[in-house]
Amino acid sequence: MIALDTNILARFYVDDPGDPEAAKQRPIAYEVFTTSLSLFVPLTVVLELEWVLRAFYRFDTAQVIQVITHLLGLPNVNVEEVDRIAAALELLEQGLDFADALHLAGSRHCEALYTFDDRRFARRAQRLGVGTQIVVPGSEPSSRVP
């Protein structure tokens, strides 16, 4: 089994014609994906891939979901915590940030997820009715987000 880093995935999924290095690396990434029998993608690499696609390449949410869904469906690719990523993609589609969605999807077995600085995340998650209560400790009058 071969583990893949974010840059291999980015080269496989993104055509970056303005970058001469990318032009050399893209066929190599394609070859890795099409000739390797067993590939592994860590959860952290998927998280970083989403950031690269969104922040660097300016992919919109639908494009990010399309790329990651494609990755999850490749028969020779084993993605760490595939069910958690699939759940996070559903939350991303409903308006949550992908990292927050991964935090929440990984915490579904908990009664609450505590956060100090992200009331927006807390309100959105609560509106979606995800089941896990989002708590902002110390907020007034109640620590529960309305």
Q: For the structural domain made of 2-106, what CATH number should be given? A: 3.40.50
What distance in Å separates the CA atoms of residue 9 and residue 50, rounded to the nearest whole number?
A: 10
What distance in Å separates the CA atoms of residue 90 and residue 105, rounded to the nearest whole number?
A: 10
pLDDT under 70: residue ranges of the chain: 117-118, 139-146
Q: What is the pLDDT of residues 70-81, one digit of tens each?
A: 999 999 999 999
pLDDT of residue 114: 87
What distance in Å separates the CA atoms of residue 139 and residue 110, rounded to the nearest whole number?
A: 21
Q: Where are the domains positioned within the chain?
A: 2-106, 109-146
pTM, 2 dp: 0.85
